[in-house]
Amino acid sequence: MRVITGKAKGHHLKFPTGTKTRPVTDLVRGAIFSVLENSVEDWSQVLDLFAGSGALGIEALSRGADWVDFVESEPKCCDIIKENLEKTRLSAQAHVYCCNAFKALSFLDKEYNIILMDPPYENASTGDFITQLADSRLVGANTTVMVTHSSRLPLHQTYGALKLIKEHRHGDSCIAFFQKEAKP
C-alpha cells in the first residue's frame, strides 16, 4: 500500500496484520479522491473515521488537506497511523484519537469539510452511525461525507439530513458520497 499522489507520493504505508482492518485498494482510493478533487473546494479540515492504517487521511494530506483528525478504536492501528504519519512527514498536520467512532462524535467539536468513513464491511451499525453523524456538529452545509461499504450491504439514499449524491462500485466495494440537503 502506498500514497498515490501529492507531496507524499510513493511512500509505502505500513498496514496492521492480525486485525479486522482491510485496506482500501489503490484503485478504490484513486476513485474516492478523483470524486473529491472534482467536487470539494475546501480541504482545510478532514476527518478520517474507522481509520485503520490511516491511508485515506494520509492521502488527503498528501493531496493538500490542511489538517486531518484520525479516529480508530484498535490501539495497534493507532500506533501504525502514527508511524505512517512520521514516515510521510505529515505528523504536524494531524491528530490520532484512539477511541471508537461513536465516542468521537461526543467530543469532536468542529465542522469538517470532508469526512472519510471506511467502517468494517460486516458492521451492521454503519447506517445508525451515519444517522448520528448527519445530525452532529461535525457535518455542516458544505461537508462531503464519503463511506465505503460492501455491495452486499447497500446504504440508504438518506440518513437524517444527509442525502446520497453519488455512488460508485468497484467489485464488492461501493463508495457512497453524501451531502446535506439544501433547505428550500
**6 part of a folded domain:** no
Task: Give pLDDT, residue 2.
Answer: 83
| Structural domain harbouring 168 | 26-180
For position 137, what pLDDT does the model report?
94
Residue 104 lies in a domain: yes
Answer yes or no: is 7 within a domain: no
Tell me, what's the pLDDT at 16?
78
Q: Would residue 163 count as lying in a domain?
A: yes
- Asked whether residue 12 is assigned to any structural domain, the reply reads no
Q: Which residue has the cell 493531496?
A: 63
For residue 16, being part of any structural domain is answered with no
pLDDT in tens, 74-97: 999 999 999 999 999 999 999 999
Q: Is residue 9 in some structural domain?
A: no
Apex 54 CA angle, 53 and 55, nearest 5: 90
Residue 63 binned pLDDT confidence (cut-offs 50, 70, 90): very high
At residue 41, the 3 state secondary structure works out as: coil
Question: CATH code at 109?
Answer: 3.40.50.150
Q: What is the pTM of this model?
A: 0.92
Taking only the tens place, the pLDDT of each residue in 110-126 is: 999 999 999 987 777 88
Count of structural domains within the chain: 1
Q: Is residue 155 in some structural domain?
A: yes
CA–CA distance, 19 with 15 (Å, rounded to integer): 10
pLDDT by residue (tens digit) across 37-48? 998 999 999 999
